[in-house]
Structure 1
Amino acid sequence: MSSELVEALNVLEKDKGISRDVLVEAIEAALVSAYRRNFNQAQNVRTDLNLATGSIRVFARKDVVEEVFDSRLEISLEDAHKVNPSYDIGDVVEIEVTPKDFGRIAAQTAKQVVTQRVREAERGIIYSEFIDREDDIMTGIVQRKDNRFTYVSLGKVEALLPPSEQAANEHYQPHDRIKVYITKVEKTTKGPQIFVSRTHPGLLKRLFEIEVPEIYDGTVEIRSVAREAGDRSKISVYTDHPDVDPIGACVGPKGSRVQAIVNELNGEKIDIVEWSNDPVEFVANALSPSKVLDVIVDEKDKATTVVVPDYQLSLAIGKRGQNARLAAKLTGWKIDIKSESDAREAGIYPRSESLSVEEDNSFDDTNEEIE
């Protein structure tokens, strides 16, 4: 066994963080298997790797017995005394049985073990790095695609982007740089598997944290996100700082901040609305850009009936019900939208205590739609 192995173990311990003792133990165990396999031996043996010289020796271990039934595993007391007169019944005698050409086999075996352990250690390091990045965002480069996944390089590992996590308006080509949201990290026998998404609401939230310093430092909070990836999203924001406009902070100067996010999501429309703990106000905000005349709240069923001007009914509902659907996801309240004329006919509008946006136009001033 070449002394180069010893130097290699020292380098691995320093550069890869793999304990030299662990590697030596693994090599010795592998050498036992190699000895039994290559020399058709079944006896109990151990190997000894001399780190000072790089030499390897094999020792057969035999129990000292009065009567020998299996010479591969046992030795008589008389023969044991030939090795050392101090041996007694029940002791274990070690006899060197190193084959002449065992050095070549040992070197090959050691190389395989070291390579395997290095690979396992690197996989462990990658897993440890990425398990801490679940629910985080990373920039990757599209490598290739097949029927099951689009493969995105995240540097040390290829992440898997399933079709179900791809936006309908996006088509990825090799070498495209895209931001992805890490949804799951799994440890497998082939190494860590990283699953990523382009449709997860968390991607939108992380993009705002990157682009908006007030969100990153906690001045402005994102309270909820509703997303239909590739088409339209809504986020609600809040701040308890009286001098900070949470919506204006997210939009940025001339819309620059939110426009960067829209560009990253390939034109996905984003509505930014102000969060409120008052369901009347929050639901009205969430239906932006539609004007709301009244919100009737049923606390028991966590449902609301929203009255909108006749000419804005289709806007409030949205294409294929999208605006109302996203508003319901955003607020967590069921939303039933009625036109003003239908509400009057049903006798639920107007109410003396109703909220009228025709009298209070704050919703028009604060709600933003970015396309």
Structure 2
Amino acid sequence: MRSQVVIVGGGPSGLLLGQLLHRRGVDAVVLERKTRDYVLGRIRAGILETGFVNLMREAGVAERLDRECFIHEGTQIADGNEMFSVNFQELIGESVVLYGQTEVTRDLYDAREAAGARTIFNVDDVEICGADTEAPFVTFTAGGQSHRIDCDFVAGCDGFHGVSRQTIPLTVRKEYEKVYPFGWLGILSETPPVDDELIYANSERGFALCSMRNANLSRYYIQCSLSDRPEDWSDAAFWDELKRRIPEHVADKLVTGPSIEKSIAPLRSFVTEPMRWGRLFLCGDAAHIVPPTGAKGLNTAASDIHYLYHGLMQFYEDKDSEGIDRYSEKALARIWKAERFSWWMTTLLHRFPEMTEFDLKMQQADIAFLRDNVDAQRVMATNYVGLPF
């Protein structure tokens, strides 16, 4: 089998790259370890930066997104019983949109199937070979048979636990990591959102986030111990704790109901360098992870796809390797800024076990400065809506 590009991983970043390349006449096959239904069953955040939305439009898959998304012109920051707004539209003239990652993935799969592009599901034993040569190939098993695809390039979009990053020798790659001493307990409920905008809340009991999926589907989170399990928390206990962490006037209008999904996510910051080795390119979670505070995970993957897509098109259409040669440099320059923003929001809003009284005073001063200083709000807005590619 032969393809110009092999994309390892059939999540949103791999599918987006495949769709963008397909529309420009570049053949790309996608290898996915699970089934389509399994991938679409993953519950993920859905705050999309302008850059991500523009990539979806360029890929020709934004019709439903543009029709059904919710536009968020700002966000709310709560500190104890006080709350203030950071209005992105007023500060910098831009917004973010709410459109679930599951729906993004569904749209991309539908477009891929309509185009007749090749996607192979239920693949095992993926091995990326010859990435440091001009003739890479990928081997795998599917349907009980062994397969090989020869290609020009490999895009590793297979997440933190995938094979792509591990293919780069330890003598070449360097990893940077910060593991946070808490997690997020999240529930999904068929209830109306408590507010039109997201609410990020700092309280003496810990962090909380009020979010939504649509007008009748809400997503809420509370900071929890890493030793907790979802089954340790009844719905009633979760709602009670959430109400204690958000301002009273917000808690009073909170509509509660049975959870339809409940999970705990650990928080970490992680970056591997470089993001390219020979003809292998890392994208998204294969190369970097951010804590969910600030909604950068999917959006940082999109920026990788932007740089790689344009680099590949420069190579195929202009016979110029500058874009792929500088892929890692360009991608990492933006990634580290997104990492800094996610780290800052996480430290601003969470209670850390080792915090001293001085640390608490510094956190309170940081929130007060953000509340009272329009320039600080403008910096936050600029980062939240997404730095330019």
Structures share fold, TM-score greater than 0.5: no
Kindly name which structure, 1 or 2, has the bigger radius of gyration based on alpha carbons: 1
Query: Which TM-score bucket, shorter chain as reference?
Result: under 0.3
TM-score, normalised by the number of residues in structure 2? 0.23
